Amino acid sequence: MQFIDLKAQYQALKSEIDANIQSVLDSAQFIGGSYVKELETQLAAFVGRRHCITCANGTDALQIAFMIAGIGEGDAVFCPDMTFISSTEPAKMLGAASIFCDITPDTYNLAPASLERQIRAVLAEGRLIPKAVIAVDILGNPCDYDAIAPICEQYGLTLIEDAAQSFGASYKARKACSFGHIATTSFFPAKPLGCYGDGGAVFTDDDEADNLCRSICVHGKGPGGKYDNVRIGMNSRLDHLQAAILLPKLKALREYELDARQTVAERYNAAFAGKLVTPFVAEGYTSAWAQYALLARDGTQRDKIVAHLTEKGIPNMIYYPTPQHALPVFQKEPAYGETFKNANDYCARTFSLPMHPYLTEEEQQTVINAVLEAL
Ligand X SMILES: *Cc1c(COP(=O)(O)O)cnc(C)c1O
Regarding 59 and contact with ligand X (CB under 6 A), the answer is yes
Binding part of the chain for ligand X, among 21-29, 139-147, 162-170, 340-348 by CB under 6 A, reads 162-170
Q: Which CB atom, from 158 or from 364, has the smaller least distance to ligand X? A: 158
Residue from 4, 55, 99, 136 that binds ligand X (CB under 6 A)? Answer: 136
Q: Which CB atom, from 183 or from 305, has the smaller least distance to ligand X? A: 183
Q: Which CB atom, from 136 or from 216, has the smaller least distance to ligand X? A: 136
Q: Which CB atom, from 323 or from 371, has the smaller least distance to ligand X? A: 323
Q: Which CB atom, from 165 or from 364, has the smaller least distance to ligand X? A: 165
Quote the strand ranges of the chain, DSSP E: 51-55, 75-80, 97-101, 129-136, 158-162, 170-171, 174-175, 182-186, 200-204, 221-222, 225-229, 285-286, 292-295, 350-353
Closest CA to 101 of 153, 164, 152, 171: 152
Closest CA to 194 of 250, 257, 263: 250
Quote the strand ranges of 28-172, DSSP E: 51-55, 75-80, 97-101, 129-136, 158-162, 170-171
Instruction: State in angstroms the smallest separation of the CB of 184 from ligand X.
Output: 7
* Contact (CB, 8 A) for 86 and 62: yes
Residue from 87, 104, 170, 344 that binds ligand X (CB under 6 A)? Answer: 87
Residue from 20, 55, 58, 119 that binds ligand X (CB under 6 A)? Answer: 58
3-state SS assignment for residue 52: strand
Regarding 140 and contact with ligand X (CB under 6 A), the answer is no
Q: Report d(CA 208, CA 69) in Å as an integer.
A: 11
Closest CA to 324 of 307, 297, 338, 343: 343
Q: How many CB atoms lie within 10 A of CB 362?
A: 8
Binding part of the chain for ligand X, among 5-13, 78-86, 242-250, 361-369 by CB under 6 A, reads 78-86
Residue from 9, 54, 86, 118 that binds ligand X (CB under 6 A)? Answer: 86
Instruction: State in angstroms the smallest separation of the CB of 66 from ligand X.
Output: 12
Regarding 164 and contact with ligand X (CB under 6 A), the answer is yes
Regarding 196 and contact with ligand X (CB under 6 A), the answer is no
Contact set with ligand X (CB under 6 A): 57-59, 83-84, 86-87, 136, 162, 164-165, 186, 188, 198, 200
